[in-house]
Amino acid sequence: MGKFGERLRAINVAHLPQPHHDSKGNLCGQIIHIDHFGNLVTNVSGIDLSTKRFIIEIAGQKIAGLSQYYSQKNGLVAIIDSNDYLEIALKDGSAAALLGSKVGDKLILREE
């Protein structure tokens, strides 16, 4: 049998933050990844969204509801990506650059 390297003595497990509801019932999430296009991947999954009628508030901007695809409309869009996470994107641009966002930044989803 071949060798793969030194035996590990411990395994570090990283725990992703989970979305939660605030005292007003709003769903609060955060950015967990920014891809090379500048799209903001959040920790909010499609399962977390009990309704499609909501407003996303992030970095002082508001996005109404979900789009079906990235280029559906101009400006910021919110979609459920192929991994079933809420993603914020900007048609022909970087949402991260426009919003000045970084991993760990918060967002709020308010039902309409």
User: pLDDT tens-digit profile of 36-51?
Assistant: 999 999 999 998 887 6
* Domains in the chain, number: 1
The CATH code of the domain that includes 40 is 2.40.30.90
Residues 6+ apart with CB under 8 A from 11: none
Is residue 89 included in any domain, yes or no? Answer: yes
Confidence at residue 76, expressed as pLDDT on a 0 to 100 scale = 96
Is residue 72 included in any domain, yes or no? Answer: yes
Q: What is the pTM of this model?
A: 0.85
Is residue 29 included in any domain, yes or no? Answer: yes
Distances in Å between the alpha carbon of 93 and those of 3, 54, 99, 103?
Answer: 46, 24, 11, 18
Is pLDDT at 87 greater than 50 in this prediction? yes
Range of the domain at 73: 20-111
The secondary structure of 13-65 as a DSSP string is -PPPPPPEE-TTS-EEEEEEEE-TT--EEEEEEGGG-S-S-EEEEETTEEEES
Is pLDDT at 1 greater than 50 in this prediction? no
Is residue 107 included in any domain, yes or no? Answer: yes
* Position 8 confidence tier, pLDDT thresholds 50, 70, 90: confident
Mean pLDDT of the chain: 91
Is pLDDT at 7 greater than 50 in this prediction? yes
